[in-house]
């Protein structure tokens, strides 16, 4: 069966580090453009509507992350299973996995979106969202809930394509969608004066255009997406495999989101200035996350394909090289945040109190970037193996950390407000160290299983 070699990458042959970098670059560019959705919303709303409107969008961040995470975990699980089938060279199972993940990703976001819409205001009240920003926060969150199925559409399409080694196609449509989002932000927020609601509508429309365009292009150009009637059958076994990995990933992402909600409640208790500063620093750190997240996603596909092909030595090499790349990036970002934090925060707001608070916050959290990177690198390898237990374990650690650490630190008089950002770094460290321990244990387990298999084969 022919595939378009310009986009699809077989990661079971060739230099691991070269393949990972080659695969990562388009995905990194795509992730950075995707973050521009949030950045453009924040900059336009913050500059043209005000700090209160920016705080309203920021107050919904952890909640929208929760609902998106519940859906995207299924897509990620389907992508990992697809990459393993790709490594095995099983074309029929690849197609079946693409189709059955699609069925799940169509139904699940609709259910989650309806429930999320109904619970939007109670959840924001539970998080002690300041009264001044409550109305805007509820409006923005409800729009994002109604558009959940459209937002999930792009994540499904990109997960399937990346599982096949194609990190370029999602990028092309994401760039177009980002430009569309910017134009719609200007139209709805500045032109029609729709405030935060306009920013939400712009994001949903743009994500829908990106997702549907990506799928249509894939059907036209990628042979694995060309289906006949038999390929479209519901397969209980394949769906079971997707759910077996996807549900723990959804739980992991959901638990992390819940932990972020716990942190958001602590932030909200310090008032709208703290909320605005936390929103600005969170937007910046989302950009910092992208190289790590990209590296982890590349490792997930790399590991999945090589695990399917039974080439575990290549996985170890890829892991070590990726850790080195992560450490170099972390070291480079530290001085940037230490010396230019105020300049960066000023992009979002003009309020001097918010700028000063945000700049100091960046100085604190940047010391822990290397631990953040470790989370993504190790998670990428373990997810590629299909280690569903780790996904749940990682989520539990973050929940424990974010429920306890920020509350304790902010109660210490000489730390106070700054305990918010110290707690972020400490939780990254807890999660990163736990991930590393799991990797060491899992690697020993894999070696032992391989040795037993070799002995049985010899006899």
Distance CA 154, CA 149 (A): 9
Question: Burial of 218 by CB count in 10 Å (0-12 exposed, 13-18 middle, 19+ buried)?
Answer: buried
Output the pLDDT for position 38. 63
Distance CA 18, CA 30 (A): 19
- Secondary structure percentages of the chain, helix, strand, coil, to 5: 85, 0, 15
| Exposure of 86 in the CB half-sphere (CA atoms within 13 A) | 31
Distance CA 220, CA 217 (A): 5
Output the pLDDT for position 331. 94
Write down the residue that tokens 């560019």 correspond to.
29
Six token digits for residue 88: 């095995």
Output the pLDDT for position 7. 60
Output the pLDDT for position 136. 84
C-alpha gyration radius of the chain: 22
Distance CA 459, CA 449 (A): 16
Output the pLDDT for position 144. 86
What are the start-end ranges of the H helices in 127-194?
131-146, 148-163, 169-185
Sign of the four-CA dihedral 153, 156, 159, 165: negative
pTM: 0.72
Question: Burial of 172 by CB count in 10 Å (0-12 exposed, 13-18 middle, 19+ buried)?
Answer: middle
Which parts of the chain sit beneath pLDDT 50? 1-6, 450-459
């Amino acid at each position: 069966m022919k595939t378009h070699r310009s986009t699809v990458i077989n990661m079971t042959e060739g230099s691991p580090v070269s393949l990972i970098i080659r695969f990562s670059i388009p995905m990194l560019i795509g992730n950075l453009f995707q973050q521009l959705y949030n950045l453009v919303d924040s900059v336009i709303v913050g500059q043209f509507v005000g700090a209160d409107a920016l705080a309203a969008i920021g107050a919904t961040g952890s909640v929208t992350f929760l609902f998106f995470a519940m859906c995207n975990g299924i897509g990620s699980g389907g992508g990992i299973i697809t990459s393993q089938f790709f490594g095995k060279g099983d074309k029929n199972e690849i197609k079946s996995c693409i189709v059955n993940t699609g069925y799940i990703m169509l139904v699940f976001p609709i259910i989650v979106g309806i429930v999320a819409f109904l619970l939007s205001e109670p959840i924001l009240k539970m998080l002690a969202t300041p009264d001044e920003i409550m109305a805007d926060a509820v409006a923005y969150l409800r729009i994002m809930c109604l558009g959940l199925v459209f937002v999930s559409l792009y994540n499904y399409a990109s997960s399937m394509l990346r599982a096949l080694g194609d990190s370029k196609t999602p990028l092309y449509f994401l760039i177009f969608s980002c430009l569309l989002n910017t134009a719609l932000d200007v139209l709805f927020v500045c032109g029609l004066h729709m405030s935060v609601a306009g920013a939400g509508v712009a994001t949903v429309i743009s994500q829908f255009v990106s997702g549907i365009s990506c799928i249509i292009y894939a059907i036209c150009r990628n042979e694995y997406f060309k289906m006949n009637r038999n390929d479209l059958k519901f397969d209980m076994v394949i769906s079971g495999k997707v759910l077996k990995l996807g549900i723990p990933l959804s739980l992991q992402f959901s638990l992390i989101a819940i932990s972020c909600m716990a942190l958001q409640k602590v932030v909200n208790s310090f008032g709208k200035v703290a909320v605005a500063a936390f929103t600005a620093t969170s937007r910046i750190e989302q950009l910092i996350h992208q190289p790590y997240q990209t590296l982890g996603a590349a490792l997930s596909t790399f590991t999945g394909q090589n695990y399917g092909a039974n080439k575990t030595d290549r996985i170890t090499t890829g892991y070590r090289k990726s850790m080195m790349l992560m450490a170099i990036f972390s070291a480079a970002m530290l001085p940037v945040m230490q010396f230019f934090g105020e300049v960066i925060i000023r992009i979002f707001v003009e309020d001097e109190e918010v700028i000063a608070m945000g700049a100091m916050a960046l100085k604190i959290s940047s010391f822990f970037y290397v631990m953040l990177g470790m989370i993504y690198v190790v998670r990428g390898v373990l997810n590629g193996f299909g280690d569903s237990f780790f996904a749940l374990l990682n989520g539990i650690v973050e929940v424990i950390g974010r429920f306890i650490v920020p509350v304790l630190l902010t109660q210490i008089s000489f730390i106070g407000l700054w305990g918010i950002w110290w707690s972020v770094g400490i939780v990254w460290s807890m999660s990163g160290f736990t991930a590393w321990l799991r990797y060491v244990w899992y690697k020993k387990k894999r070696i032992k299983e391989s040795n037993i298999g070799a002995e049985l084969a010899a006899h």
